[in-house]
Structure 1
Amino acid sequence: MRVTWWGHATTTIEANGTRLLTDPVLTQRIAHLRRRRGPAPLPAAGDCDAVLVSHMHADHLHLTSLPFISPDAALVVPRGAAKLIHADSGAAYSDRCIEVAPGNRVRIGGLEITVITAHHDGRRLPWSSYAGPALGYRIDGSPSVWFAGDTDLYDGLAAEAGVVDLALVPVGGWGPSLGPGHLDPVRAAEAVRRVGASTAIPVHFGTFWPIGCDWMKPELFLPPGDRFRAAMAEVDPAVTVEVLVPGDSIEVSA
């Protein structure tokens, strides 16, 4: 399996002849946030068989990025998101949507995908009535993968996700605070322990930051990746932690 991190929660997962793209943000800006590290993802980032969207927040369901995605790619989205996509982007996009909720299974090419719970606010926000469940995804290939989306710890995580080989786990955010429904580096290490992963890649940090706020709490921008590595060494030193730079790729085996 080949995994490429494009920054924030955007990754390409290539396995069994299938390419999945998670929570694609393929531009330099998300409203008041700008990409502070690395250029916008290469055009090849949009080449995929399917997109997996974890929830409706604009930094995960980024409507502006949809035109950069392969025109025949399926859009696997939380229940209720197709209506939002139709209203913004039209039937050319909403007709490609597969709406899902925890417990659903979808097969894309050579990969079986199980939808699991994420402990996070699934509403579009702000000033929007669109809402749906926040999701994570278990991808059964060789190796198996847990893409967490945005989540905090919850009691049923291990039962829903099962044991996986690789965890793509959020360890930070996009601003000088990290509210409820998120993992910090320490809780992210505990989440990886619960799903039994042998390899972990920290995501959702060190990419976007509010314009004009570069000076605010810089310890929450780049350090979460290394802090997660240190926390993981305390929780389970057998786990291999790969801290990538946006645009980096890595080969992972079962």
Structure 2
Amino acid sequence: MKWPTLGLALLAFTGCATVNTIERIEQPDSVIRYIENTADPLRFSNLYPGKKTYPETCTENCYPSSPLLACETPAENCRFTGQQTPPAVSTGFNIRWLGHASFYIESPDGSSLLFDPVSDQFDWPVNWAFRLAEGFNRKPGDWPSTTEVADTDAVLYSHIHYDHFNKDDIARIGSDSKYFVPLGFAEHFPEDGYHINEMAWYSSKSLGELKIHFVPAHHFSNRVWVPFLYEDNNTALWGGWVLEHQGKRLFFAGDTGYSQHFSDIRQKYGDMDVCLLPIASYFHEEDSEWYRYVHTTPEDALTAAKDLNCKVMIPWGYGNSSWKMGDHSSHSALLRLLNMHKKMTSDIPLHILNEGEGVTL
């Protein structure tokens, strides 16, 4: 049957979009904290706000060169070349680092998941603003194959900041995957039939044999054209994720500063087998205290790994496809991590990845 011209025009105008399915997940032991004395809308709060003290702080000779890195210029455009044997951790998780905060995870039960997938730049117009302010655009990270993206079972976002959530990638991944996000996040999705699980801290949901827990982080959220405009500050929650399969646990921290929440997570779920922890975006000449408040330094990440009793730590945030926000160069944070790992005599094994590399632990 031929559609009348008007019918075709209306179909083209409205498209085939369908309404999203949103499930809000709160359980008896879930935790939600709001900033006190705020008018509508309610705004979320960190569990441990206020001035921080840090167990370790590097103050001098923090970035010595390392024979384990081959760099085009000092700490810039590098590749980790050290020989490493994966620690004897038997979880069955296959972990591939895509760059910055993005990971492709294959779980022991065959599920495939994406953490904070961002394939290219910030969404417009922030990508242009960032280029004008910082003078460069991010080099694209590694991205899963078309087949892997199509077969992705779940996508997990830690928070709505542009370097962790790119709306263009939602369309690339599509509505066949299930989406796991913090509270207040779903309104940032287009209406196109997405299945979205909005979760409070310490809420859980199963995906096949895999248990997915949403856990606290020490950070903040906003997503406006003019950064730090007050309208949407902290109206969406932020956090990290724990994947659990038959008693084995993988932890993804999301963006976070150091606080007691790491110890809380271990107390609630037990020791973490694999920890994916951020080590960059912690330094800025005029705002160093604020940057560290919401981002872990390499030594903070090592302290967090100890709090979590990680069997192995995989760092992220540095790299040739990073945005270097608040940091010195593409690999300065990794140099500092390698340095502080020795100075702190940390017994947490490190496994270092270059973008696109993976490991089964």
Same topology, TM > 0.5: yes
TM-score (norm 2): 0.61
Of residues 202, 206, 214, the one that matches 1:107 is 206
1:16-35 to 2 correspondences below 5 Å: 16-28=109-121, 30=123, 31=127, 32=130, 34-35=137-138
TM-score (norm 1): 0.84
Q: Deviations over 1:36-74 (max 9, x none)?
A: 375555435534110110011111121111122153111
**Is 2:153 aligned against 1:61?**
no
Moved more, 144-153 or 118-127: 118-127
**Is 2:253 aligned against 1:157?**
no
Q: 1:239 to 1:49 in 2, by over 3 A?
A: same
2:97 corresponds in structure 1 to: 5
Moved more, 66-75 or 232-241: 232-241
Q: 1:20 to 1:39 in 2, by over 3 A?
A: closer
1:232 corresponds in structure 2 to: 341
- Which of the pair has more CA radius of gyration? 2
The one-letter amino acid of 1:2's match is N
Among all aligned residue pairs of Structure 1 and Structure 2, give the percentage whose two residues are the same amino acid.
26
Between the two proteins, the alignment pairs up a number of residues equal to: 242
Q: Deviations over 1:97-117 (max 9, x none)?
A: 100110110112221011111
1:92-171 to 2 correspondences below 5 Å: 92-93=193-194, 96-125=195-224, 126=227, 127=229, 129=232, 131-141=235-245, 143-161=248-266, 162-171=270-279
1:222 corresponds in structure 2 to: 331
Q: Deviations over 1:171-223 (max 9, x none)?
A: 1139967613001111111111110001111112222337xx9xx96x44212
Which SS does the other structure have where 2:323 is aligned?
Answer: strand
**Is 2:346 aligned against 1:242?**
no
Note the residue ranges of structure 2 that are not aligned, 5 or more in a row: 1-92, 132-136
Q: Is the 8 A contact 1:77 1:100 kept in 2?
A: yes
**Is 2:290 aligned against 1:182?**
no
Which SS does the other structure have where 1:35 is aligned?
Answer: coil
Shift of 1:224: 1.2
Note the residue ranges of structure 1 that are not aligned, 5 or more in a row: none
Alignment root-mean-square deviation, CA:
2.6
Moved more, 194-203 or 126-135: 126-135
Q: Is the 8 A contact 1:147 1:169 kept in 2?
A: yes
What is the CA–CA distance in structure 2 between the aligned matches of 1:149 and 1:70, rounded to whole Å?
A: 23
